[in-house]
Chain A
Amino acid sequence: MTPRPSLSNCWQARIRWLVTALLMLGHLAVPDAARAASAALEPFFGSYVGSAEMVDLTTGETRQRDLDIVIQPFREAGFQVNWLNIMLVDGRRDVPGVKRWLQTVLFQPAEGRDLYVEVKASNPFRTREQAKPLRGDPIRWARIRDGVLHVYAFQLLPDGNYELQIYDRILTEQGLDIRFERIVDDQPVRRLTGRTVRAEAGGTDD
């Protein structure tokens, strides 16, 4: 006598079928454009360390920075950039006055367009497309062209001026070259140029 399938076995089979169907649907739901965008991103994924020189174009002052950048996939076809800046004092990072800051930004492909828009970490389903830049909300977007990952940040300031920041991360044989410019009301006020190399994952100490 063939044993009758138990009720729980029956439900397990149905759940397995449902999960498989959802996974297949999820794969189909990723449009070709998103897959292409993801392919364009892949060469940038990795960890990079290097250094840069920041010039304050209003004063002529220059400062050295250490850079630590991680670019990694985010959800299906987006990406995440984490970058750690260390502003050195007279080229040193072991003296008082050194500044350190870490930033993270998440991007997802914009629907029907060949660009990426920022999403908030607190709610990755709400994109910056819903921001109100004329009310002062900052907007960020990114695009990839000819081996360069361009990231733009725009904000309308309270007095009606604007601030535009442009980060270019350029693929090289060793890693990424970095260019950054900060523009306020059409005037470049800061410029950074730097070089990084791909960092290999370290093991335990020694």
Chain B
Amino acid sequence: MAIANRRLAMLVAFALGAWPLAAAEPELTTLAGNWRGAVASTAGAGAVPDGDLAVSLTKEGAGFRLRWLGRAPGEAGDGWEPLEAVFDPAEQPGLFAVRAAPQGLLQRMFASPETGNPLNGETMLWARIEATQLVVYSLGIGNDGGYALDRYAWRPEGGELLARYSRRSDLAAPLVLEARLQKASGSP
């Protein structure tokens, strides 16, 4: 009886542990690859990238590696630059935390999920999958208490990716930028 209970507990634990990946798998498969496209519309105030928006997603372990052209993290950054981070499934279904171990210079921009805290000047980064949409967020708090909260959303539609980026801060009206990205070959 005790063994049967243990087996049941192991099955439940396995099912719970595998659920986030299983649920996220179709979306990650659809989003995988290199995508690029020009900005179609903007609203609010802030810098707009000169060229195309580019994003690249590759599955990595139970999570994924993301490279994208994004806003310079943190409250002081206003320009656009290539960003890169590896995300692993978090405890909550559909939620991904940035991998703690540094993977490179770009990865070190972001705080550890265990200890990271924007109140210590670190940029907090996380991602979630909701329905078919991947959303990545970053929050940075500057030395003067000003903040920058970025939200990047990608949603597949008709073989394209609909991208919607926004930055919220207390300096200006939120910048919102939309684009349609097409599958591209090569690296972003």
* Chain A residues in the interface with B (C-beta under 8 A): 110, 112-117, 127-135, 139, 141-143, 145, 150, 152, 154, 156, 158-162, 164, 166, 183, 185-186
Contacts and interface: CB of A to CB of B under 8 A. Distances in A.
A115 B143 contact: yes
Contacts of B115: 132
A143 B135 CA distance: 29
A183 B168 contact: yes
Contact of B117 (A139, A142, A145, A160): A139
A160 B127 contact: yes
A58 to B, nearest CB: 18
A131 B170 CA distance: 23
A142 B143 CA distance: 11
Contacts of A162: 137, 139, 149
- Identify whether the interface residues of A are mostly helix, strand, loop, or mixed: mixed
Contact of B151 (A142, A166, A186): A186
Interface stretch (B5-13, B51-59, B77-85, B118-126): B118-126
A105 to B, nearest CB: 14
Given A143-B145, A154-B139, A160-B135, A131 B119 contact: yes
A130 B122 CA distance: 12
Contacts of A135: 113
B147 interface: yes
B88 to A, nearest CB: 12
Given A141-B145, A143-B145, A166-B170, A133 B124 contact: yes
A131 B115 CA distance: 8
Interface string B149-179: 1010000000000000010101000100000
A131 B151 contact: no
A114 B118 CA distance: 14
A112 B144 CA distance: 10
Contact of B145 (A150, A154, A159, A186): A150
22 contacts: A110-B119, A113-B145, A115-B141, A115-B144, A128-B119, A130-B117, A133-B124, A134-B97, A134-B113, A134-B116, A134-B124, A141-B119, A145-B144, A150-B145, A150-B170, A158-B95, A160-B128, A162-B139, A162-B149, A164-B149, A164-B168, A186-B166
Contacts of A150: 145, 170
A154 B118 CA distance: 10
B174 to A, nearest CB: 8
B60 interface: no
A93 B151 CA distance: 41
A129 B170 CA distance: 21
A117 B96 CA distance: 27
Contacts of B149: 162, 164
B168 A117 contact: no
A131 B117 CA distance: 7
Nearest to B127: A160
A159 B120 CA distance: 24
A42 B148 CA distance: 28
Contacts of B174: 186
Given A117-B119, A166-B170, A156 B146 contact: no
A61 B139 CA distance: 31
A141 B141 contact: yes
Contact of B92 (A141, A159, A183): A159
B72 to A, nearest CB: 19
